[in-house]
Structure formats: C-alpha cells, structure tokens
Structure 1
Amino acid sequence: MQAILLTTSFLLATASVAGAGPWRADQGNTRGWDLMSPEERIAHQARVRGFTDYQACLAYRTEHHQLMQQRAAARGLTLPESGRNFCDRLKPQSDQP
C-alpha cells in the first residue's frame, strides 16, 4: 500500500513538473473561442490533439484562423493576434531551437 502511494505521488509530481497532460483548448489559447459553438470547441480540441504531422497541423491551424477571422468580421469584431502555435510540438527536432 505504501509503495502504491509513493508511486502515485511520484507520478503526479512528475506530471505537474513536466507540464504533462493533453493540450486543452480554452478561451486563453484558442483563437475565436467565443465564435465557436461548444460542439466546435470539442471537435477543435480533439482534432488538434490528433495531429501527428506538422504540415497537416499548420494547414488546419491556418484554415481555422481564417474561419474565425471571417466570423469575427461578420460580427464587427477584431480577433487578438494568435499566441502560441499549437503545432510547434510536432516540429522535427532539428527545426526546434
């Protein structure tokens, strides 16, 4: 029992230190969050998590940003500049700084 508790504690500590865990879309990291339905948000998050190819991810990201820009313009809104590129995790190791 004690070994299980120690192992669990170690795994939780390691996960929190390493920032492990799946990427989660939210208002702070998803361009056009407020312009998406709850179903679209879930689908977007699942799609982003599912990418294994950097170029395919970039193509989707560009398409998503264009769609959100169109929705914002139709409502007279301005989207903030995009922040972190969620596709960067897929860059080949030789391309990363």
Structure 2
Amino acid sequence: MLVVVLIAASGAAPARGPWRASEDNTRGWQFMTPEERVEHQARIRSFQRLDECEAYQQAHHRLMLERAAGQGRQLSAGGRDICEHLRPAAARP
C-alpha cells in the first residue's frame, strides 16, 4: 500500500531541474529544427539581464511568425514568458 501511495505522489510532484523547452511551452516549436530547439533552450538559460532576454524573445517571436506565414500557418498564441525569472518579484503575476 505504501508503495502505491509513493508512486502516485511522485507523479504529481512538479519536475525538478532546469527549465526545458518543449512544444507545450515554446512558441514556434513546430517551426524550429532540433538544433535550433537546443540552442533556444541554452540561450534562455544563459540570460542574466531582462532587457537582453526580452529582445531575444521578441526577435524569436518575429522569426516564428515569419516561418508560420511562409508555410501558410498560424503561430499559436500564448506560451510561457521566458524572461519571467529575470523580472523583479513584485512585477511577476
């Protein structure tokens, strides 16, 4: 019985470790090559300044919009704010 409870609890626990880019949290994932996905994830983890992160995020979104339009598709809305970790705690939602 204890094993069942521990297994169930472990599945509900949030994932630990560094943030990972995925199709669930990255706008334009489907328009990126595997190499670009790895590079994107590394860039996001490397930012130390909010302004640099925001500039990259805006450029990335523009590029993904262009790629989507080039394929006659739409870029999904929403997604995660990749720069949130650099914002002052008071400015976070």
TM-score range, shorter chain: 0.7 to 0.9
* RMSD over aligned Cα atoms: 1.6
Match runs of 1:2-81 below 5 Å: 20-81=16-77
Q: TM-score, normalised by structure 2?
A: 0.79
Instruction: State, as a whole percentage, how many aligned pairs show the same letter.
Output: 48
Q: Which has the higher contact order (CA 8 A, sep 6+)?
A: 2
Q: TM-score, normalised by structure 1?
A: 0.76
Count of matched residue pairs: 82
CA deviation string 1:44-91 (max 9, x = no partner): 000001111111101100000000000000000001113220101100
AA in 2 matched with 1:78: Q
2-structure distance, mates of 1:74, 1:62: 18
Write out the 4+ residue segments of structure 1 that deviate beyond 6 Å after TM superposition.
none
1-structure distance, mates of 2:31, 2:80: 19
CA contact (8 A) 2:31 2:67 kept: yes
For structure 2, the 5+ residue unaligned runs are 1-9
More helix by share: 1
